[in-house]
Amino acid sequence: MSDTKYPPSAEFAANAHIDAAKYQEMYDASINDPAAFWGEHGKRIDWIKPFTKVKDVSFDLGSVAINWYSDGTLNVAANCIDRHLATRSDQTAIIWEPDSPDEDALHITYQQLHDNTCRMANVLKGLGVKRGDRVVLYLPMIPEAAYAMLACARIGAIHSIVFAGFSPDALGARVNGCDAKVVITADHAPRGGRATKLKDNVNQALLHDVDDVKCLVVKRTGGQIAWREGLDFWWHEEAAKVSAECPPEEMNAEDPLFILYTSGSTGQPKGVVHSSGGYLVYAAMTQELVFDYHPGDVFWCTADVGWVTGHSYIVYGPLANGATTIMFEGVPTYPDASRFWQVCEKHKVNQFYTAPTALRALMGQGNSFVEKCDLSDLKVLGTVGEPINPEAWTWYNEVVGKGKCPIVDTWWQTETGGHLMTPLPGATATKPGSCTTPFFGVQPVILDPTSGTEIHETEAEGVLCIKDSWPGQMRTVYGDHERFEKTYFSDYKGYYFTGDGCRRDADGYYWITGRVDDVINVSGHRMGTAEVESALVAHAQVAEAAVVGYPHDIKGQGIYAYVTLMNDVEPTDELRKELEKWVRTEIGPIAKPDLIQWAPGLPKTRSGKIMRRILRKIAEDDFGALGDTSTLADPSVVDELIENRMNRG
Ligand code: 6R9
């Protein structure tokens, strides 16, 4: 880990929203009087009925309740669209860049965004969607995804986006899980030159017990699809029948804006619920200050709207600020490894926000792909999703940013709604690999994992918790508040538990060391090992499975599965391929195991608990120090597993 510091240039700091002195002053104010601080910043957005209460929060187990601005009313879509129309109706809100560079980009103005969102809202109403109903979005990265999100917000419906890379089964579980009224999808989703048959996936998902769910279909490619007469509707046909005006519903600040499923350490993914008021204040404020966004800038977050990063930093944050935001349908390496940089040049991107896994993949292709593009408009570079290794950081800084663009390494989670720890580009001297210091109002604490007590020394290492609430915090797990309390507030009483391990250095800088639970981070995407295991054991020939992460050059972590087969089943390469395919169809391509090791036995304690610590060590090819194995029921299985390990060097 490097301790070299990279301070912002004096010129950058002078023109930034926040410099070092201002950061300190505002941070102190945010901690000393949170109600006054957030009361002031709550005014960033427009309220129909202004709030009088700012914060009403309890982290006490049994009565966890998180409320911000709770007597205020607003409409999120009106904040992201209508309030800009007087001054920016002709300004581009969304630049859509298609998968193939041969297809034209679209520039969608705020007025067009208004009209299309209203049409979508009216179509949804026509399909019977009412305030409080759930709508599932299963869409490519196309403008209709933003219209659909904002249309739900406009009529007070709750959206739940399912990443288009998820399988029909995963989609079905999420449609069922929130009892959705309508699914919005597209015929096919082009990505990296290949097309996913989204509508067919929806049909398969709805074969279960929700086959009366209506489906609104966007025509993206005109590809072949199976139609369910009476249940399926073309977006372009319905849009032509409705008005481009739809009055925004007056919503309470605490009314849910969306549900987003995310992986945890146990069981199936949980539906993270975000609020309307607090979430929007927090997304808007972080988008402006963390990226030092100024009016007229072009902002590009390369995430997919299926992840929280896309929610907060493609749609809600930028649009609440009246920004120009890019929505990119493709992948970084198609048609070749210069795609990102060509898009930056073409649209004169000022702030660019991506994931370390993408940077590592592109770095491996050599500098020429970057150097042939004009990146002179770039001002700020951001990363998110996993710790960034200093090599990738340095490459990003020197080759992409030419040493003149501050890098903001933003640490946050689906649960947090927006950035919690991050540099501010005009204020913070960065260190490669550190997410540096907390955002306003955020109080990170490091706890001793065994005693659960707070470590007060500056230099510390342990589990990362947050002491008090911030407006963007998730409010509950959809339909299961008890699970919310148990997951985040029960291990360390009185704190929000992040699930991450963390080190604080002598300068008070924070370094995320990775998950301390059974969640692995594959290419910046969260995967519960339990989910992959339950997919594997659902296969008729699998008796038992244990899944762990291991270091992977590009993905950060790869998925390593130990599989015990049923008696009499031959372990063959064919079966290995079949299991890989099985997991792809059960969950989706991102869950496919990278390595599958046949395990005649798994190391278990006498009480039957799988000793994952040992499996992790073997998967890491670091079995010299396995620690105490004396509690194992049968220590000999370990030698067998080491002997046949799949990751060698
Ligand atoms: C936004 C997002 C959250 C988990 C989080 C942590 C890891 C995210 C990071 C980072 C180190 C960063 N993580 N950003 N680790 N440095 N800058 O990624 O949300 O998908 O919920 O993942 O990702 O482990 O706990 P989500």
Report domain extents, the chain: 10-433+483-490, 523-644
β-pair type (270-275, 460-466): unpaired
521 CB near ligand 1 (under 6 Å): yes
Tell me, using a 6 A CB cutoff, whether residue 301 lines ligand 1.
Answer: no
- As given in the structure block, the two tokens for residue 61 are 């187990």
What pLDDT sits at residue 287? Answer: 98
How far is ligand 1, taken at its centre, from the CA of residue 131, in Å? Answer: 32
Ligand 1 closest atom vs CA 410: 17
Is 511 close to ligand 1, i.e. is its CB under 6 Å away? no
Distance in Å, CA 515 to ligand 1 centroid: 9
Q: What is the DSSP string of 294-318?
A: -TT-EEEE-S-TTSHHHIIIIIIHH
CA of residue 207 to ligand 1 center, whole Å: 34
Residue identifier of the C-alpha nearest atom 2 of ligand 1: 413
Superfamily of domain 10-433+483-490: ANL, N-terminal domain (3.40.50.12780)
- Binding residue ranges for ATP: 385-387, 409-414, 500, 515, 526
335 upstream amide cis, omega within 30 of 0 = yes
Q: Is the CB of 526 under 6 A from ligand 1?
A: yes
pLDDT of res. 3: 74
Other Cβ atoms less than 10 A from the Cβ of 533: the count is 20
Mean pLDDT by 10 residues, the chain (649 residues): 85 98 98 98 98 98 98 99 98 98 98 98 98 98 98 98 94 93 97 95 81 93 94 97 98 98 83 98 98 98 97 98 98 97 98 95 94 98 94 97 98 98 98 97 96 97 97 98 97 96 97 90 90 92 94 94 94 97 94 96 81 91 81 85 91
CA of 419 to the centre of ligand 1 (A): 10
pLDDT the model gives residue 85:
98
Tokens 């599932």, residue located: 136
Residues 575 and 453: their CA atoms lie apart, in Å, by: 48
Cβ 387 under 6 angstroms from ligand 1: yes
> Counting atoms of ligand 1 from 1, which one is nearest the CA of 388?
16
Ligand 1 neighbour 308 (Cβ under 6 A): yes
Positive or negative CA dihedral for 445, 474, 357, 310?
negative
Does 411 sit in the ligand 1 pocket, CB within 6 Å?
yes
State whether the beta carbon of 414 lies less than 6 angstroms from ligand 1. Answer: yes
User: Measured from the CB, is residue 30 less than 6 Å from ligand 1?
Assistant: no
In this prediction, residue 500 carries a pLDDT of 95
Contacts of 419 (CB under 8 A, 6+ apart): 286, 290, 410, 411, 412, 439
> φ and ψ at 487, to 5 degrees?
-70, -40
Q: Are 318 and 326 in contact (CB under 8 A)?
A: no
Distance 384 CA to ligand 1 centre (A): 6
Ligand 1 atom with minimal separation from the 515 CA: 24
**Ligand 1 atom at shortest distance from the alpha carbon of 307:** 20
- DSSP letter for 5, please: -
Q: 226 CB contacts (<8 Å, ≥6 apart)?
A: 199, 200, 203
515 lines ligand 1 (CB under 6 A): yes
Ligand 1 near 309 CB (within 6 A): yes
Expressed in angstroms and rounded, the spacing between residue 386 Cα and the centre of ligand 1 is 5
Q: Tell me which residue of 37, 32, 38 sits closest to 67, measured CA to CA.
A: 38
Coil, helix or strand at residue 491: coil
| Pocket of ligand 1 contains residue 384 by CB under 6 Å | yes
Closest CA to 389 of 618, 560, 499, 554: 554
For residue 490, the Cα-to-chain-centroid distance in whole angstroms is: 24
Which residues are part of a known binding site for CoA? 191-194, 309, 523, 584
Pocket test for ligand 1, best of 305, 411, 428, 511 (most atoms within 8 A of CB): 411
> Is the CB of residue 406 below 6 angstroms from any atom belonging to ligand 1?
no
- 523-644 homologous superfamily: ANL, C-terminal domain (3.30.300.30)
Distance 192 CA to ligand 1 centre (A): 25
Structure tokens at 492: 């360390």
> What are the DSSP E strand ranges found in 240-294?
251-252, 256-262, 270-275
Ligand 1: which of 272, 301, 384, 509 to mutate, judged by most atoms within 8 Å of the beta carbon?
Answer: 384
Residue ID of nearest Cα to ligand 1 atom 23? 385
Length of the chain: 649
Token pair recorded at residue 371? 């150097």
Question: Which residue owns the Cα nearest ligand 1 atom 19?
Answer: 413
HSE-CB of 308 using CA atoms within 13 angstroms? 29
Bridge partners, 457 (sequence order): none
- C-alpha to C-alpha distances, 224 to 168, 197, 205, 228, 232, nearest whole angstrom: 18, 9, 18, 13, 14
* Residue with CA at minimum distance from ligand 1 atom 5: 413
Paired tokens of 432 = 């490669």
| C-alpha 621 – ligand 1 centre gap (Å) | 25
265 lines ligand 1 (CB under 6 A): no
Q: Does residue 262 have its Cβ closer than 6 Å to ligand 1?
A: yes
Q: Which atom of ligand 1 is nearest to the CA of 262?
A: 21
Q: Decide: residue 62, CB within 10 A, 0-12 exposed, 13-18 middle, 19+ buried.
A: exposed
The helix/strand/coil state of 462 is strand
Which 3 state secondary structure label does DSSP give 83? helix
Binding-site residue positions: 191-194, 309, 385-387, 409-414, 500, 515, 523, 526, 537, 539, 542, 584
CA 40–ligand 1 middle distance (angstroms): 29
CB 285, CB 186: distance < 8 Å: no
Is the minimum distance from the CB of 499 to ligand 1 under 6 angstroms?
yes
Nearest CA to ligand 1 atom 7: 386
ipTM of the modeled complex = 1.00
- The per-residue DSSP string of 153-180 comes to HHHT-EEEE--TTS-HHHHHHHHHHTT-
The pLDDT of residue 202 is: 96
Indicate if ligand 1 lies below 6 Å from the C-beta of 386: yes
List residues forming the annotated binding site for Mg(2+): 537, 539, 542
Residue 451 exposure: Cα atoms within 13 Å on the Cβ side: 6
- Residue pair 5/430 in contact by the 8 Å Cβ criterion: yes
CA distance 137 to 145: 7
**pLDDT at 632 (0 to 100):** 80
Enter the tokens of residue 316: 């809600």
Q: Which residue lies with its CA nearest to atom 10 of ligand 1?
A: 386
The CB of 557 under 6 Å from ligand 1? The reply is no
- Asked whether 298 and 324 are in contact (CB, 8 A), the reply is yes
Say if CB 238 and CB 123 are below 8 A apart. Answer: yes
Tokens 């408009």, located at residue = 377
Within a 10 A sphere around the Cβ of 571, how many other Cβ atoms?
A: 16
Pick the residue whose CA is nearest to atom 12 on ligand 1: 411
